[in-house]
């Protein structure tokens, strides 16, 4: 962190926008902010606790290490003098190749620690030694980013977790105030067959809140989890209640994203909630990972990021990954595939929906690159549900998204 107060050179002058230099972290450059550390806010996990945990097998070792870390994290959080707690991950903890338990859940340090820390109300930034130590190898099957990119990614994440807004959605003064809700499902550690719904809610600034919903049921038609109408209604009502509590107002328009189709029961439930809250507009969009369609353009480069096409009145596709003129290259390793946008209910034009989806794919503050594949509403799904599976389903959860990322 001290080294990052000074500029860090770019990786490659050939692609200055793809691998930009880090300008340093200070009040006059970069994110125009500084980090303040104090000895009283720094604590060490005792070596004897780590050694004792290392002697235990598998999941017991992970749990014991998390217990040791939580003792120190709780002591820092109790003083309430910090915005974010930076955690140096234990170097020798092997939680990568642990076998799954009988309900298919694999315990790892990152997810279990974040789940245990949710009640504290303080976001964690967990860092591996390979992030700051050039001599330390990265995790298996992962490559190390250049130092400037690592600095950008860490500082953007810390800035957001501390309450800053690194960037926001563009919107016209004539646009309706909009709330974006992603619906996903997860299986908690205490159940074998039941899926719980969770809503990921964002406004134009990227302020995110998380709301847990009712139990989902797997449909015999598509083998995907779905909500009954009453639970769909209650989930959206809860989401709007939390949104109003956080932002002091209700949105005029709500856009609901799912990675599975909307059943008629779900549509009725979501619309019932919209009617009760007197929303001006409610859009329901099923986002697929691919429409089994590819587009081509002259030459050998993939389609431009942002390429949009309508396949029918209710089926559209958009390339959220692809060639980027600003980067002067296609930054991916594989042939990009478009996202499918299947509309169950829409108040704007398909083209406007495509523009909005593309913008939402840039709202990932875990990295500084602006070419994410999924919109933030669904991008958060895996992060959040990996942590919620370790939470007691009977207890309230933290609502601030920054605590999950």
pLDDT per residue over 22-73, tens digit each? 999 988 888 898 888 888 889 999 999 999 988 888 889 999 999 999 999 9
pTM: 0.91
CA–CA gap between residue 236 and residue 239 (Å, rounded): 5
Q: Quick one: pLDDT band at residue 190, thresholds 50, 70, 90?
A: low
Q: What is the mean pLDDT of residues 179-190?
A: 84
Classify the C-alpha dihedral 139-142-147-153 as positive or negative. Answer: negative
Please list the alpha-helical segments (H only) found in 82-207: 109-117, 129-132, 147-161
CA distances (Å), origin 393, targets 13, 66, 70, 197, 234: 50, 20, 21, 11, 17
Provide the 10 A C-beta neighbour count for residue 21.
Answer: 17
- Residue 179 above 70 pLDDT? yes
Residue of 6, 21, 18 lying closest to 370 (CA atoms): 18
pLDDT, tens only, 236-248: 999 999 999 888 8
Residue of 173, 166, 162 lying closest to 125 (CA atoms): 162
pLDDT, tens only, 306-359: 999 999 999 999 999 999 999 989 988 889 999 999 999 999 999 999 999 999
pLDDT, tens only, 69-115: 999 999 999 987 899 999 999 988 877 666 555 555 678 899 999 99
pLDDT, tens only, 243-268: 998 888 999 999 999 999 999 999 99
- Residue 215 above 70 pLDDT? yes
Question: In the predicted model, what is the mean pLDDT of the chain?
Answer: 90
pLDDT of residue 194: 62
pLDDT of residue 96: 63
Residues 6 or more apart in contact with residue 51 via CB below 8 angstroms: none
pLDDT, tens only, 115-149: 999 999 999 999 999 999 999 988 888 888 999 99
**Among 2-6, 63-67, 212-216, 301-305, whose mean pLDDT is lowest?**
212-216
Q: Quick one: pLDDT band at residue 383, thresholds 50, 70, 90?
A: confident
CA–CA gap between residue 127 and residue 121 (Å, rounded): 19
Q: Quick one: pLDDT band at residue 366, thresholds 50, 70, 90?
A: confident
pLDDT of residue 230: 95
**Among 54-68, 158-172, 211-225, whose mean pLDDT is lowest?**
211-225
Q: What are phi and psi of 346, to 5 degrees?
A: -145, 135
Residues 6 or more apart in contact with residue 261 via CB below 8 angstroms: 222, 224, 286, 342, 344
pLDDT, tens only, 347-363: 999 999 999 999 999 99
pLDDT of residue 380: 87
């Amino acid at each position: 962190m001290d080294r990052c107060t000074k500029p860090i050179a770019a990786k490659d002058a050939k692609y200055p926008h793809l691998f930009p230099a880090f300008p340093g972290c200070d009040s006059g450059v970069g994110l125009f902010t500084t980090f303040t550390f104090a000895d009283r806010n720094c604590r060490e996990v005792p070596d004897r606790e780590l050694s004792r945990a290392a002697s235990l097998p598998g999941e017991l070792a992970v749990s014991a290490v998390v217990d040791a870390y939580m003792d120190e994290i709780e002591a820092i959080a109790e003083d309430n003098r910090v915005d974010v707690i930076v955690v140096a991950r234990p170097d020798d903890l092997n939680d990568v190749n642990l076998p799954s338990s009988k309900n298919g859940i694999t315990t790892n340090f990152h997810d279990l620690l974040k789940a245990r820390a949710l009640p504290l109300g303080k976001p964690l930034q967990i860092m591996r030694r390979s992030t700051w130590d050039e001599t330390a190898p990265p995790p298996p099957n992962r490559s190390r980013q250049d130092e400037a990119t690592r600095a950008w990614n860490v500082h953007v994440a810390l800035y957001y977790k501390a309450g800053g807004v690194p960037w926001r959605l563009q919107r016209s003064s004539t646009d309706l105030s909009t709330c974006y809700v992603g619906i996903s499902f997860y299986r908690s550690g205490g159940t074998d067959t039941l899926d719980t719904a969770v809503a990921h809610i964002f406004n134009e600034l990227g302020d995110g809140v998380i709301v847990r919903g009712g139990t989902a049921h797997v449909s015999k038609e598509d083998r995907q989890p779905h909500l009954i109408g009453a639970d769909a209604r209650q989930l959206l009502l809860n989401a709007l209640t939390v949104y109003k509590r956080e932002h002091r107002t209700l949105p005029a328009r709500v856009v609901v994203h799912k990675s599975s189709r909307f059943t008629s029961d779900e549509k009725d439930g979501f619309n019932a909630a919209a009617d009760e809250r007197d929303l001006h507009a409610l859009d329901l969009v099923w986002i697929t990972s691919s429409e089994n369609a590819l587009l081509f353009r002259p030459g050998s480069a993939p389609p431009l990021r942002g390429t949009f096409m309508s396949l029918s009145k209710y089926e559209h596709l958009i390339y959220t990954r692809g060639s980027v003129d600003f980067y002067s290259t296609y930054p991916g390793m594989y042939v990009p595939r478009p996202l499918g946008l299947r509309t169950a209910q829409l108040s704007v034009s398909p083209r406007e929906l495509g523009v909005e989806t593309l913008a939402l794919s840039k709202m990932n503050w875990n990295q500084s690159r602006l070419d994410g594949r999924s919109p933030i509403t669904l991008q958060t799904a895996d992060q959040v549900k990996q942590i919620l599976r370790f939470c007691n389903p009977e207890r309230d959860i933290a609502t601030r998204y920054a605590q999950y990322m």
